[in-house]
Amino acid sequence: MHPVAPAAYIINLLIAGAVIAYGLSSWRKLCGWFSVAVIAIALMLALHLAVTVAADNAPLVAVSWQLPVLGAALTYYVDGLSALLTALVLLLGLLCAVYSIHYLEHVASSGLVGFYCLLLLFLAGMCGVLCIQDWLFFLVAWEFMSLPAYMLIVFEKQRPEALRAGLKYFIMTHVGNVGLFIGVLILYKQTGPAGTFAFGAISSALGGLVSTRPALACLVLGLMALGFMTKAGIFPMGDWLPDAHPAAPSPVSALLSGTMIKLGAYGIMRVFLWMLVAAGAPGSWFLGWGIVLASFGALSAFIGSAAAVKENDAKRLLAYSSIGQIGYIILALGICVAFVKINPTISALAFVAGLLHIIADAFHKALLFLTTGSVLYRTGTRDLNELGDLIHRMPATAVAAVVGMLSVAGIPLTGAFVSKWLLLQSALFGGRESAVFAAYTVVALFASVLALAYGLKLVAATFLGQPSRLVCELEPREVPAMMLLPQWALAALCLLVGLFPAAALATCGLAAPQILAAGAAQATAGTNALSVTTSLGPMVAGSFAPLWVLALFGLMLLTCWGISRAGRAPIRQVEGWACGEVLDPEQLRYKASAYFWVFTQHFANVYPKVRVPKLRVRQTTPPLLDVDRWAFGPVGRLCNKIAAALSALHTGLPQTYMLWQSIGAGLILLILWLVWRSS
């Protein structure tokens, strides 16, 4: 038990920073740099925390305060996984904050009040999700993350489509959250009469359910998976992503896709690799749920990537790409869950692959969103059809975008290559146990081809080809250095992970759950600093030495360059020929919509779109609920009638009143006489 919780420092620092940033919001630059400083300090703390956790090789646990009525306690629990992802979140947060300082000049919001405040709160929420291990407070942190995200999506609130997208995000994410809430509350009820939200007790409650009421346990797991997969953007619940990304400012998109949706995958890990393991579920459960998760993942990887290929809006394309990439991650986690009990080595390999893909995708997806944001900043459009030939006008951005695109496609020497390679290995060898995984290997490979296709489309339509009319008119310049810096840093990170994968793998291995720790060490045994060798049991599964590949690539490029130099082939520059007709150059240009046209026309509606329903309600009161009409009204009128009838007795004639009095007096006398008689 650690006396103070370092994770609490990080979260409190971010929240305090948010409050101060709100106060500073009149001075935009100052506010921006202040937020950058706050995130930088938080990142230092997170790195320190990660190093401590890695050095101790044990999680840090600290209870901050308690809510005894509900049996909840704010428990900070930081293990390798939490520490790694916290550092990742804060690193991306730092880069996006630096990027935002200039980027926000272009955002046409009526007031920039609160952008950094919301950004810091968003980061605080994400750190809370990662570091808190008490279900009640976890859910509070989860909401603390979801709400600033909503506010950031609708940040450009004068645009109606931003408001619609925000509403869609809000509804879908809360449908998932309700599932999560109900799942947790069902387990809470099982923890005994007093009830507690502690992770351990909830896990054992789940264990009890697994053995006594398996159907209910399945329902709970399904609800929780639904909640996390909605946030992760898995098909078919990921429909909010393609609307939210174009609406949000680019650095926010980078954070949403780079980090927030990954926390859905984190939730899946915690439920299936920690809770279900602690619950002591039998192996068949793991296999079954693993196949379910892997199926969703594979489906999502395919459909997301296919939908991205036909998209002509850069940010929508990237959003579908996120759906595809998170599909890979969930596929890897599915394989990991399926083999936890059967074959820990395959399981560990899949875990490492999934975690590494989280990191790699965070880097390249954030990178591509930032480069798209830079293009948007200079040209004001996200429509790929209206762009072209920006490489001569924005060369530095173009280079970064190319690196990002190569990484998305999983080309060797980038981080995503290693993760996809490991994923395919684990799926392939998993296929020996259950043929369905072999099929998913093929799906994943095909989705990789699609990823290359949309990556090429994005980069080629933006940066290569003939300049469009818009580009010729605007003549965009390179973005400021403060916007370039985060892009280059992310590109460097993509390449670093790809060139030195052994270090990344070792880090991911440290984050593996207890049950897989041995398997993780074994799966990547034989790895040294420069090359990765995977082994499954006695045999070597594969080996990859990126520096050798780099050297060969270099040699090849050099040869090509030499040949082209030696041949001295002249390059002719001519006008496009349209059979003699004089056409607008814009019509002759090879536009984004023309890419893979044969393919895209068949996949035009591969991802079904849901519209936010417009609630139409009758303006009239239904007769049943109009209580006034059928109950109070008639009763009131009846009372009036009776009163009117009674008032008829008031004739106004003294004689009548005298008569009443006499009759009354007679009655009283009669009664008195009867009483006297009886007594």
Partner 1 sequence: MLNWEFAAVLLLILPLAGAFLVCRYRSRQADDVALLVAVATFIAFIFLVNALLSAARTEKLSAVWQFIPWLQVPGGLFGFMVDDIGIIMLAVVVTIGLLVVIFSAPYLSEANRDHPTTNGKGRYYCWLLLFVFSMVGLALSPNLLQMFIFWELTTICSWALISFYDDKRSTVAGYKALVLTSVGGALFALALLLMYVPTGSFEFGVLSLLTARRAGVVFLLLLIAAWAKSAQVPFFTWLPEAMAAPTPISAYLHAAAMVKAGVFMISRVVYGSYSTLTGLRAQYDIGIATITLTGHSLGLVVAFAAVITMLVGLYFYFSQDDLKRLLAYSTITHLGYILFGLGLAIAGVWLGFQAAMIHLLAHGIAKTLLFLGVGSIAFATGSRSISALRGLAMRMPTTAFCFSVGVFTLIGVPPLACFWSKFFLLAATIKLGGLAALLLVLCFTGEAALAFYWFLRVKQRILLEDAPTNTQESPAAMIGVLITLAILCLIGIGFILPFLPLVP
Give least dist CB 621 to partner 1, A: 8
DSSP 274: I
Give least dist CB 175 to partner 1, A: 8
565 or 618: whose CB is closer to partner 1? 618
Q: Which residue in 69, 215, 571, 579 binds partner 1 (CB under 8 A)?
A: 69
The dihedral over CA atoms of 558, 564, 567, 568, expressed in degrees to the nearest 10, equals: -130
569, with CB counted inside 10 A (0-12, 13-18, 19+), is exposed
Q: Which residue in 3, 55, 193, 598 binds partner 1 (CB under 8 A)?
A: 193
Q: Is 613 in the site for partner 1 (CB under 8 A)?
A: no
Q: At what angle do helices 314-338 and 435-463 cross, to 10 degrees?
A: 160
Q: Kindly indicate which of the ranges 80-88, 170-178, 383-391, 461-469 contains the residues binding partner 1, using the contact rule CB under 8 A.
A: 170-178
In degrees, rounded to 5, the angle at the alpha carbon of residue 50 between the alpha carbons of residues 122 and 407 is 70
Q: Kindly indicate which of the ranges 156-164, 248-256, 446-454, 569-577 contains the residues binding partner 1, using the contact rule CB under 8 A.
A: 156-164
Dihedral pair phi/psi, residue 5, rounded to 5°: -100, 110
**556/565 Cα distance (integer angstroms):** 14
176 or 327: whose CB is closer to partner 1? 176
Q: Is 619 in the site for partner 1 (CB under 8 A)?
A: yes
Cβ–Cβ < 8 Å for 70, 197: yes
Task: Name the token pair of 153.
Answer: 């999506």
Q: Kindly indicate which of the ranges 208-216, 263-271, 462-470, 613-621 contains the residues binding partner 1, using the contact rule CB under 8 A.
A: 613-621
**253/370 Cα distance (integer angstroms):** 9
**261/228 Cα distance (integer angstroms):** 9
13 or 145: whose CB is closer to partner 1? 145
166 or 404: whose CB is closer to partner 1? 166
**421/415 Cα distance (integer angstroms):** 10
Element (H, E) at 78: strand 72-78
Q: Kindly indicate which of the ranges 52-60, 108-116, 443-451, 564-572 contains the residues binding partner 1, using the contact rule CB under 8 A.
A: 108-116
Q: Is 383 in the site for partner 1 (CB under 8 A)?
A: no
Q: Kindly indicate which of the ranges 79-87, 414-422, 630-638, 653-661 contains the residues binding partner 1, using the contact rule CB under 8 A.
A: 630-638
Q: Is 618 in the site for partner 1 (CB under 8 A)?
A: yes
Give least dist CB 630 to partner 1, A: 10
User: Distance from first CA to last CA of the chain, Å, rounded?
Assistant: 89
Phi-psi region of 464 (alpha: psi -120 to 50; beta: other; left: phi over 0): beta
Give least dist CB 109 to partner 1, A: 10
Q: Say which residues have a Cβ less than 8 Å from residue 48's Cβ, sequence separation at least 6.
A: 6
619 or 651: whose CB is closer to partner 1? 619
Task: Name the token pair of 602.
Answer: 């068949």
Q: Is 122 in the site for partner 1 (CB under 8 A)?
A: no
Q: Is 240 in the site for partner 1 (CB under 8 A)?
A: no
Element (H, E) at 597: helix 597-600
Give least dist CB 168 to partner 1, A: 12
In degrees, rounded to 5, the angle at the alpha carbon of residue 73 between the alpha carbons of residues 69 and 79 is 160
Q: Is 147 in the site for partner 1 (CB under 8 A)?
A: yes
Q: At what angle do helices 435-463 and 344-379 cross, to 10 degrees?
A: 20
Q: Is 615 in the site for partner 1 (CB under 8 A)?
A: yes
From the list 139, 129, 2, 136, the residue with the least C-alpha distance to 63 is 2
Q: Kindly indicate which of the ranges 174-182, 501-509, 512-520, 555-563 contains the residues binding partner 1, using the contact rule CB under 8 A.
A: 174-182
SS3 623: coil
Q: Which residue in 67, 530, 563, 610 binds partner 1 (CB under 8 A)?
A: 67
Q: How crowded is residue 461: how many other Cβ atoms within 10 Å of its Cβ?
A: 27
Q: Is 625 in the site for partner 1 (CB under 8 A)?
A: yes
Give least dist CB 147 to partner 1, A: 6
Give least dist CB 140 to partner 1, A: 4
Cβ–Cβ < 8 Å for 159, 111: no
48 or 174: whose CB is closer to partner 1? 174
Q: Is 634 in the site for partner 1 (CB under 8 A)?
A: no
Q: Is 206 in the site for partner 1 (CB under 8 A)?
A: no
Q: Is 651 in the site for partner 1 (CB under 8 A)?
A: no
**517/340 Cα distance (integer angstroms):** 11
Cβ–Cβ < 8 Å for 401, 462: yes
Q: Which residue in 617, 645, 649, 653 binds partner 1 (CB under 8 A)?
A: 617
Q: Which residue in 41, 47, 107, 185 binds partner 1 (CB under 8 A)?
A: 185
Q: How crowded is residue 539: how many other Cβ atoms within 10 Å of its Cβ?
A: 8
Give least dist CB 301 to partner 1, A: 31
2 or 174: whose CB is closer to partner 1? 174
Q: Which residue in 99, 135, 170, 235 binds partner 1 (CB under 8 A)?
A: 170
Q: Which residue in 3, 158, 569, 611 binds partner 1 (CB under 8 A)?
A: 158
**350/422 Cα distance (integer angstroms):** 7
Q: Where do contacts with partner 1 occur on this chain (CB under 8 A)?
A: 67, 69-70, 110-111, 113, 136, 139-140, 143-144, 147, 154, 157-158, 160, 163, 167, 170-171, 174, 178, 181-182, 185-186, 188-189, 193-195, 615, 617-621, 625, 627-628, 631-632, 636
